[in-house]
């Protein structure tokens, strides 16, 4: 019987790095036109709890749809990849990792798990739990940013890079180009990418997923203002901002905005920054691009990635794609 292997953690992102990024992003975003705040700042403890609630809402199909594909095809995915190392980008609590780890373990090839995320506390807790759940598994957690630290990941073994949850849709085209370029440089010829993408569908279905009847997504959207108040000494009144979700047909994406219900003045103490909002002015807080299989394969091909297999969910709502370097 295999023994428990103590997990390790490599830290490439410090608290001061995160603080500098926050200050830069908020200053740049609040002084741009239109104003915008990156969605990464939704996710403090409260925001993470709210998002967990969102994934359980009847309107929010992506989590269930992706899980259904993994339930049905995890063994097909790992058999096609021939990997003995699973690398999960933006791993969080590693809940979905277990389906792939189980499938890899069933093939007898599972050797190492490398979860990457910006939160050292969440990552370490998940690493400890997984090392105990999977005796004999090497867990090498990496605290880092997938925009900056893909080249710092362990390179031994045959790796399956999992980027799930439709997170790729939160990146604009320029950010996607940078991500896929960096990933292509980090991947070896026998490595594989497993990419989760939400698919284009009826716009009402899409909007409802981001504007639920219970108002949980609205509270999640406004949570970014609570984060700025706490972390940067801002004086936003979240009640004076309305949640807006709309479908952008030209760019094939859902956009979430916060609309100022009245003219107001905001002071961000830690940045010594004063910001004016006009009545009705909107601030962009998230994009979520939706894809179609053909154009997605073409986009990946433009980054030097060749699609090997695609697995859609029932009703063609979500898609998992396996790709390799050309």
Q: What is the DSSP string of 24-40?
A: HHHHHHHTSSS-B--GG
Every domain range in the chain assigned CATH 3.40.50.150: 8-12+60-199+291-325
Cα(306)–Cα(324) distance, integer angstroms: 5
1 has pLDDT over 80: no
Query: What percent of the chain stands above pLDDT 90?
Result: 90
The CATH H-level (homologous superfamily) assignment of domain 8-12+60-199+291-325 is Vaccinia Virus protein VP39 (3.40.50.150)
| Confidence (pLDDT) at 95 | 85
pTM of the model: 0.95
When pLDDT is averaged across residues 133-155 and rounded to a whole number, the result is 94
Three-state secondary structure call for residue 269: helix
Cα(241)–Cα(278) distance, integer angstroms: 11
> Which residues have C-beta within 8 Å of that of residue 179, sequence separation ≥ 6?
146, 147, 168, 171
First to last CA, the chain: 40
| Confidence (pLDDT) at 94 | 83
**Cα atoms found within 13 Å of the Cα of residue 164, Cβ hemisphere only:** 29
| Confidence (pLDDT) at 274 | 98
User: Residues 78-112: pLDDT tens digits?
Assistant: 999 999 999 999 988 888 899 999 999 999 999 99
- List the one residue out of 59, 3, 44 whose CA is nearest residue 245: 59
């Amino acid at each position: 019987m295999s023994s428990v292997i103590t997990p390790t953690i490599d830290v490439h992102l410090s608290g001061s790095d995160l603080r500098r990024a926050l200050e830069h992003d908020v200053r740049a975003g609040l002084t741009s036109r239109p104003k915008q705040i990156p969605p990464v700042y939704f996710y403090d403890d409260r925001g993470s709890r709210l998002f967990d609630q969102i994934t359980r809402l009847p309107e929010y199909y992506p989590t269930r749809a992706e899980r259904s594909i993994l339930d049905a095809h995890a063994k097909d995915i790992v058999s096609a990849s021939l990997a003995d190392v699973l690398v999960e980008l933006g791993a969080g609590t590693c809940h979905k990792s277990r389906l792939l780890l189980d499938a890899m373990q069933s093939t007898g090839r599972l050797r190492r798990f490398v979860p990457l995320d910006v939160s050292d506390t969440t990552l370490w807790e998940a690493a400890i739990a997984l090392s105990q759940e999977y005796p004999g598994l090497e867990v090498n957690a990496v605290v880092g940013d997938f925009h900056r630290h893909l080249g710092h990941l362990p390179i031994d073994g045959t790796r399956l890079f999992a980027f799930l949850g439709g997170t790729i849709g939160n990146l604009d085209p320029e950010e996607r180009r940078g991500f896929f370029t960096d990933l292509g440089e980090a991947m070896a010829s026998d490595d594989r990418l497993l990419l989760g993408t939400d698919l284009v569908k009826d716009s009402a279905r899409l909007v409802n997923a981001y504007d639920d009847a219970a108002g949980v997504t609205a509270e999640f959207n406004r949570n970014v203002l609570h984060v700025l108040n706490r972390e940067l000494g801002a004086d936003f009144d979240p009640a004076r901002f309305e949640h807006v979700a709309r479908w952008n047909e030209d760019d094939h994406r859902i956009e979430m905005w916060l609309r100022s219900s009245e003219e107001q003045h905001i002071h961000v103490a830690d940045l010594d920054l004063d910001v004016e909002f006009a009545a009705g002015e909107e601030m962009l807080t998230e994009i979520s691009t939706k894809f179609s299989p053909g154009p997605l394969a073409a986009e990946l091909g433009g980054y030097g990635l060749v699609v090997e297999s695609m697995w859609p969910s029932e009703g063609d709502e979500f898609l998992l794609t396996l790709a390799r370097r050309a």
